[in-house]
Structure 1
């Protein structure tokens, strides 16, 4: 059944079973397919608010994975975390029911839209996808949206619209974005990451080039002129490219000024003033993200006013420099940064905000990333005034390389290692004082530390 095309199965009345239906991009998929008239069932390891929401729409969700859950299904869709050994996948294979990946389902869905805006890159995807959503919403284009984080404007990470535009955060991990059909493909930057899957930077670049090549002849690639790896990846590309950059590219910033750490600038498009933008999020990296979003909007013929108003209304995505509250006069923020480049951008932005001390509680994400980028993590984590290291968040991995956050702490003068998150919380309580910026950082469950701190205040 490997040759089956998912596009033949995504149709009203067809019956699909989703394994891991409670996941961040599986639950919106279930909702989109349900609204398109398909009969959807699902399963997940645990109950959650998301599962309850799906049930409220009339989608039955079983808790726990069992072969009988797929009964009646004509196709099965799984999240990347679900392997062939899963009893539901094994049963589907045994019964000859085709099994598709989540990304393939999104790819099939986007073929039904005139505009498919796909935002890729090693860093900045969630923020830029969120910025694009604000702009397209301000233009009243009623988009369908899929973001890998929560956007306050939507109250979730997704939206099911009725317009002819779909906006998707597009991830390179496991080449999942190679199942997509972008009409506008954004490449924010390219670095060596996900080295548990890719061999090296060249392998990552090869994947991004294949993604760019999925754009049709009459489509457009939006690329970061400031990023050498991106420009190298696109050498010899025949499809039209719209570039952006701080001071170079088709879309660039001019007259950049800062007020209390927040940027204002003119967006210049091919030498002409397009619009003026004032952002409510700090950091030079967010100026670049906003330029990428503006370039994507230009590619979709959006008005300058919608770009201006959409970006002015954006105050950050969930877990992207998200304000959690205060504790003992210290401001507590949370951020998803889990790669040294993202950490560097976060800490540089934090430095501009005028706090007396920056206290960073960092939880590394996966053993392979920590080992591969060890020296870069050490370099960046020397920057905060106080660095606290939580133990590595395993995610999908087993620690067969014998690495620990304790190894990082040994290389970072003055840093502290905490074996458990409650220990991190206790240490932050002792440290916190007025004038401090406390950052909880990482892609795992470190955000719970800031939440428990703020609860106790």
Structure 2
């Protein structure tokens, strides 16, 4: 494969950072630009020798292929200069599609579960054959001679419509991104269009009524725990150490599998991975071994022990995700109090799901709500965090300067949940806890 020179505009974005690492691993020259503020994606890029510049059109050189981050328009000075120089400019989805077309590709789409399922599938397949993967938390890995490419296919602004993978996993269809989609029918239409671009087969969660409505040109295999599902988990045993279950493909038993992950959603994600692997004729014993030794992905139920407290960091920012995270916590820590510190992510999402947020968060023993994390996509809202607190019995608000109230809890589990800058609250609490 001919080596190329790539320049990323917005290289610190999670998807962009993942793709930059993939192209660098493949032996290409990679550099890019972004804001000066340090991000969690920056260190991994710099450690593999990828240079990060401040925005400046002078950074561009003849022969570069410019990859344009989703947050930047054609009026961005570097993008504008790239066009003036006659350089090839690819959008982020267009650049990912080049990887999709090169290998046996599996795109994971869904309102929830994309990152966890992508991480799990790439882990399993990497034990079988060289596998490249793009996970939406800034993690990417590329191999020039890969057999598989596993990637997150994000539905936001229909970005996934740029992709034509061999297989697709659809974890669920939910009304999210109310700043873009009109309603659930609008979301389903986009998923259906994406499914029509898949070359071989789609694997979809059988309990999702909107996934059941899809009309596609390739076979749809449904997975779940129901009799109508093609891939089915049965005899499920959920314990604090993890879950064990039998898997059937229609009437054929494929084996017994154990995962050291938690919550019903982890079983469903594993079923999707088993289904794809089975269709690609991956050895079932290898699948079982790799599922058993997978420990999870970043910001998805990531655990830390400080003093007598169990601290969990989780990206959950939608009612369904919150419900799944609390379900997992109850399974793993059945005898400990569960406290949640939740940061609402965007005014539009909070307004759209206010009652559902209240119901999901009420599953915790105690809930603290931080100020709303405002998005660059919106500047004000007609909803406040007090509206959420009113829907959660016994809840309270929390600020950076009132973190010390969490010190009242002992031998408990505290889950910091959100997609914004919630880690700063977690870090502040850990410092106070270490000094206690």
Compute the TM-score of the two structures, normalised by the length of structure 2: 0.92
Counterpart of 1:165? 148
- Gapped regions of structure 2 (runs ≥ 5): none
Which whole-Å deviations, capped at 9, do the CAs of 1:373-427 have from their partners, x for residues lacking one?
1121122222211110011112323332243323212332321112x3343x322
Q: How does 1:272-421 map to 2 (within 5 A)?
A: 272-327=252-307, 329-352=308-331, 353-418=333-398, 420-421=399-400
Inter-partner Cα distance in structure 2 for 1:142 and 1:35: 12
Counterparts in 2 of 1:261 and 1:370: CA distance versus 1, 3 Å: farther
CA contact (8 A) 1:107 1:179 kept: yes
The CA deviation at 1:51 is: 4.3
Moved more, 191-200 or 141-150: 141-150
Counterparts in 2 of 1:450 and 1:133: CA distance versus 1, 3 Å: same
The count of residues paired between Structure 1 and Structure 2 equals: 429
Counterparts in 2 of 1:304 and 1:35: CA distance versus 1, 3 Å: closer
Query: CA RMSD of the aligned region, Å?
Result: 2.2
The CA deviation at 1:194 is: 0.9
- Provide the secondary structure at the position in 2 that maps to 1:411: coil
Which whole-Å deviations, capped at 9, do the CAs of 1:139-176 have from their partners, x for residues lacking one?
2x1200111137xxxxxx22223321111111111111
Match of 1:22 among 12, 15, 19: 12
Counterpart of 1:61? 52
Counterpart of 1:149? 137
Which whole-Å deviations, capped at 9, do the CAs of 1:93-115 have from their partners, x for residues lacking one?
455545321111010122111x1
Counterpart of 1:86? 76
Counterparts in 2 of 1:402 and 1:93: CA distance versus 1, 3 Å: farther
Counterpart of 2:178? 195
CA contact (8 A) 1:21 1:42 kept: yes
Query: 1:121 aligned to 2:91?
Result: no
Inter-partner Cα distance in structure 2 for 1:131 and 1:51: 24
Which whole-Å deviations, capped at 9, do the CAs of 1:216-252 have from their partners, x for residues lacking one?
2xx11111112111111x23x2312222111231111
Q: How does 1:93-112 map to 2 (within 5 A)?
A: 93-112=83-102
The CA deviation at 1:209 is: 0.7
Inter-partner Cα distance in structure 2 for 1:448 and 1:401: 23
Match of 1:260 among 223, 232, 240: 240
The CA deviation at 1:134 is: 2.0
The CA deviation at 1:189 is: 0.7
Counterpart of 2:220? 241
- Gapped regions of structure 1 (runs ≥ 5): 1-10, 151-156
